[in-house]
Amino acid sequence: MSRYLEAKEIYAKWGVDTDKAIETLKSVPVALHCWQGDDVRGFDQKVDALSGGIQTTGNYPGRARTPEELMADIDMVLKLCPGTKKLNLHACYAIFDDENGGWVDRDKIEPKHFKKWVDFCKARGLGCDFNPTFFSHPKCDPLTLSSPNEETRKFWIEHGKACIRISQYLAEELNCECVMNIWTGDGFKDIPADRMGPRVRYKEAIDEILSEPFDFNKVKPCVESKVFGIGVEAYTVGSAEFSLSYAAMNNDKCIPLMDNGHYHPTEVVSDKIPALLAFFPEIALHVTRPIRWDSDHVVLLDDETKEIAKEIVRCGGLRGSVKIALDYFDASINRVSAWTVGFRNFQKAMLMALLTPDMTDLQNANNWTELMVKQEEVKTLPFGDVWAEYCKTCGAPVDGEWFGKVKEYEAEILKERN
| Span interacting with Zn ion, options 45-53, 192-200, 248-256, 280-288, rule CB under 5 A | 280-288
User: In whole angstroms, how close is the CB of 287 to ligand RNT at the nearest point?
Assistant: 11
Helices marked H in 279-323 = 303-314
Q: Choosing among Zn ion, ligand RNT, none, which partner's interface includes residue 116 (Cβ < 5 to 8 Å by kind)?
A: none
User: In whole angstroms, how close is the CB of 188 to ligand RNT at the nearest point?
Assistant: 16
- Quote the longest CA-to-CA distance of the chain: 70
Q: Is 203 in the site for Zn ion (CB under 5 A)?
A: no
Can 262 be counted among the known catalytic residues?
yes
Can 183 be counted among the known catalytic residues?
yes
Q: Annotated catalytic residue: which of 38, 186, 259, 389?
A: 259
Q: Is 255 in the site for ligand RNT (CB under 6 A)?
A: no
Contacts 24+ apart (CB under 8 A), 10-16: 10/381, 10/382, 11/355, 11/381, 11/382, 11/386, 14/357, 14/378, 14/381, 15/357, 16/355, 16/356, 16/357
User: In whole angstroms, how close is the CB of 54 to ligand RNT at the nearest point?
Assistant: 5
Instruction: From 139, 152, 165, 112, select the one nearest 51 (Cα to Cα).
Output: 139
Can 139 be counted among the known catalytic residues?
no
Q: Is 226 in the site for ligand RNT (CB under 6 A)?
A: yes
Can 224 be counted among the known catalytic residues?
yes
Q: Choose which of 38, 69, 186, 224 interacts with ligand RNT (CB under 6 A).
A: 224
Q: How many angstroms separate the CA atoms of 354 and 94, rounded?
A: 37
Q: How many angstroms separate the CA atoms of 347 and 383, rounded?
A: 12
Q: Is 327 in the site for Zn ion (CB under 5 A)?
A: yes
Cis peptide upstream of residue 142 (ω within 30 degrees of 0): yes
Amino acid at 17: D
Q: Is 168 in the site for ligand RNT (CB under 6 A)?
A: no
User: In whole angstroms, how close is the CB of 264 to ligand RNT at the nearest point?
Assistant: 15
Q: Choosing among Zn ion, ligand RNT, none, which partner's interface includes residue 88 (Cβ < 5 to 8 Å by kind)?
A: none
Can 259 be counted among the known catalytic residues?
yes
For ligand RNT, which is the closer residue by CB, 67 or 238?
238
Q: Choose which of 93, 183, 343, 390 interacts with ligand RNT (CB under 6 A).
A: 183
Q: Choose which of 4, 35, 114, 214 interacts with ligand RNT (CB under 6 A).
A: 35
Q: Is 286 in the site for Zn ion (CB under 5 A)?
A: yes
Q: List all residues 6 or more positions away from 352 whose beta carbon is below 8 Å from its beta carbon.
A: 306, 309, 310, 383
Q: Choosing among Zn ion, ligand RNT, none, which partner's interface includes residue 40 (Cβ < 5 to 8 Å by kind)?
A: ligand RNT
Pairing of strands 289-291, 283-287: unpaired
Can 302 be counted among the known catalytic residues?
no
Q: Are 283 and 220 in contact (CB under 8 A)?
A: no
Q: Is 385 in the site for ligand RNT (CB under 6 A)?
A: no
Pairing of strands 178-182, 219-224: parallel
Can 286 be counted among the known catalytic residues?
yes
Exposure string (b/e) for 400-409, b if CB count within 10 Å is 16 or more? eebbeebeeb
CA contacts within 13 A on the Cβ side of 296: 21
How far does Cα 169 stand from its chain's mean position? 20
Q: Annotated catalytic residue: which of 35, 117, 156, 183?
A: 183
Can 296 be counted among the known catalytic residues?
yes
Q: Is 144 in the site for ligand RNT (CB under 6 A)?
A: no
Q: Is 44 in the site for ligand RNT (CB under 6 A)?
A: no
Q: Annotated catalytic residue: which of 69, 173, 212, 327?
A: 327
Q: How many angstroms separate the CA atoms of 347 and 31, rounded?
A: 12
Q: How many angstroms separate the CA atoms of 2 and 165, rounded?
A: 51
The SS3 assignment for 99 reads helix
Q: Is 129 in the site for Zn ion (CB under 5 A)?
A: no
Residue 296 DSSP class: E
User: In whole angstroms, how close is the CB of 183 to ligand RNT at the nearest point?
Assistant: 4
For ligand RNT, which is the closer residue by CB, 136 or 152?
136
Helix (H) or strand (E) holding 377: helix 368-377
Q: How many angstroms separate the CA atoms of 8 and 246, rounded?
A: 46
Site string for Zn ion, 220-259 (x = CB under 5 A): ---------------------------------------x
Q: Are 225 and 238 in contact (CB under 8 A)?
A: yes
* Residues annotated as part of the active site: 183, 224, 226, 259, 262, 286, 294, 296, 327
- List of residues contacting ligand RNT (CB under 6 A): 35, 40, 54, 90, 131, 183, 224, 226, 259, 286, 295, 327
